[in-house]
Amino acid sequence: MALPNLETFCGDWQLYESRIYQIYLDTVVNGRLTHNGLRVASQFRPETKGKGFGFWHLISEGDTEEDRIPDIRRCERIRWVAWVIANSGTDKSISCWENKRGKNLHVVMWVEANNYVVVLAKRKGYYLIKTAYETTVRRARSLSKERDKFLRG
């Protein structure tokens, strides 16, 4: 599966953004994704720059909503989101566990060999895509400890 590459669009960010947004719509929003038999949804509100809120959390990073900036590595991996979710129950290369952040229960799906994580938030009767990102070495160590602790029970 080819990674969408900004260079292919001669550096035209608007055109590239439109293309990866279409990939997101096709594979995530309209991809009929499920996890543990429940639907996986994506958040659209508040709309940001004419695109769904969930999209920005998949392609950008930052501590506050107002300061999030696109991350080209996240953009390139937009197709990976649906693949990880669709294969999380069957592909042994994907570690999957639950964690709690505050009052929120999340499902973490980690493709360790590719340093890639997808996070779903558990809601009543469905899951909501929270974010996806490439891990750093430090974050990978933390994920490994968290996963191992969860699996030990």
What is the CB-side half-sphere exposure of residue 11 using CA atoms within 13 A?
0
Rounded to an integer, what distance in angstroms lies between the CA atom of residue 3 and that of residue 112? 18
- What pLDDT sits at residue 93? 96
Q: What is the DSSP letter of 66?
A: G
pLDDT at 7 over 90: no
- Write down the pTM of the prediction: 0.90
pLDDT at 145 over 70: yes
CA 49 vs CA 10, 21, 46, 138: distances in Å: 22, 12, 10, 32
For the segment 91-109, what is each residue's pLDDT rounded down to a tens digit? 999 999 999 988 999 999 9
Rounded to an integer, what distance in angstroms lies between the CA atom of residue 68 and that of residue 78? 17
pLDDT at 1 over 60: no
- What pLDDT sits at residue 49? 77
For the segment 40-78, what is each residue's pLDDT rounded down to a tens digit? 999 987 777 788 889 998 999 988 777 889 999 999 999
